[in-house]
Amino acid sequence: MSTVPTRLLPDGLSTPALGFGTYPLAGSEAEAAVLSALEAGYRMIDTAASYGNESEVGRAVAASGLPREDVFLTTKLRGADHGYERTLRAFSASAERLGVDYVDLYLIHWPLPRLDAYADSWRAMIELREQGLVRSIGVSNFTVRHLDRLAEETGVMPAVNQIEMHPHFPQARLREEHAARNVETQSWSPLGRGDGLLTEPVVVELAHRHGVTPAQVVLRWHLQLDAVPIPKSASPTRRSANLDVFGFALSEEETASLSVLERGRTGGDPDTHEEF
């Protein structure tokens, strides 16, 4: 079983340096995958209300036999639940489906600027944290403008912004803005989305040079850019390999050689994407 190092969020909460993503796993497959991931050594599990698998994630955590405090659980607020009161009710529903008394990290999944309700949701999340129902609060897919609005209106900057990030979309400018605001970068789709990233010649060459897989090279790139990758896989073999990225390092030149592969985003644009 691999051991994952920990790191501190800006609010002082300790978190694993790599997590396990659960989208689009569903039903018994989701439960089995999460249980297998926990057995392999993953200690951060990432889900969302919109994934429809919170109950399965909760059952897997319970079945693992691990103490609750040893598993870092993240879930996310869906678009249909934006707004102060709706957010409070949505969190209660998520916690019930997960079968837990608290969630370690609660994120606003998308800003949905057309609704103009994410600031009200943020106020509710601050309240949930103050009540001890959530240990840390953050956002996902937010731009700098969205982040700054939350801080300006509430005085509280998100601890985390979980964003699409991989060598085909390295997000250099946004990562710089995160660092300036003391916001942790988490990476969804850290291995790309079937867009040929893992067969890029430079990725394959680095994997051969270090005696690792192409996926391990890319995940190590995230770690060296001070981001927390959240890979997902239905394959036990790949899950274990994705976790085994702490025994080697890329040089600055090698890291830079991956960062120049930029093509653009594959997921939604935070200014226009709507998720309900």
Give the catalytic positions in this structure: 51
Give the C-alpha separation, 162 to 197, whole Å.
Answer: 20
Element (H, E) at 184: strand 184-188
- Give 156-168 as a DSSP string: ---SEEEEE-BTT
φ/ψ region of 73 (left if φ > 0, alpha if ψ in -120 to 50, else beta) reads beta
The DSSP string of 163-226 is EE-BTTB--HHHHHHHHHHT-EEEEESTT-SSSSGGG-HHHHHHHHHHTS-HHHHHHHHHHHTT
**Strand ranges for 55-180 from DSSP E:** 72-77, 103-108, 134-140, 160-164
Residue 209 pairs with which residues in a beta bridge?
none
Helix or strand holding residue 20 (H, E): strand 20-21
Asked if omega into 158 is within 30° of 0 (cis), the reply is no
71 phi and psi angles, rounded to 5 deg: -115, 120
Contact 156, 150 (CB under 8 A): yes
Angle (CA) 33 68 165, round 5°:
50
Q: What are phi and psi of 101, to 5 degrees?
A: -90, -20
Residues near 151 by beta carbon (within 8 Å), at least 6 away in sequence: 157, 181
